Amino acid sequence: MNIILNGEKISVLLDINLKDLLGLKNIKEKNIVIEVNKEIISKNLWSNRNLEENDEIEIVTAVGGG
């Protein structure tokens, strides 16, 4: 199925949750926040949250800034 991850359309298998997605994309679980369709999903729910078609996912972190 198609989802949008950090602004880019990607294709993923069905039956994948947020925790799986991080593993798939080689993203460290530490120091990130995940938003799905503009809703923040807390860390303890990542393995429960299955992805759906056209989900818009934002994974953010702290970067340099003034």
44 binds other proteins (CB under 8 A): no
Cα separation, 24 vs 45, in Å, equals 17
**11 binding other proteins? (CB under 8 A):** no
Residue 8, strand partner residues: 5
Reported residue count of the chain is 66
Q: At closest approach, how far in Å is the CB of 42 from other proteins?
A: 7
Binding residue for other proteins (CB under 8 A) from 2, 6, 47, 50?
6
Per CB under 8 A, the list member of 35, 37, 45, 50 interacting with other proteins is 35
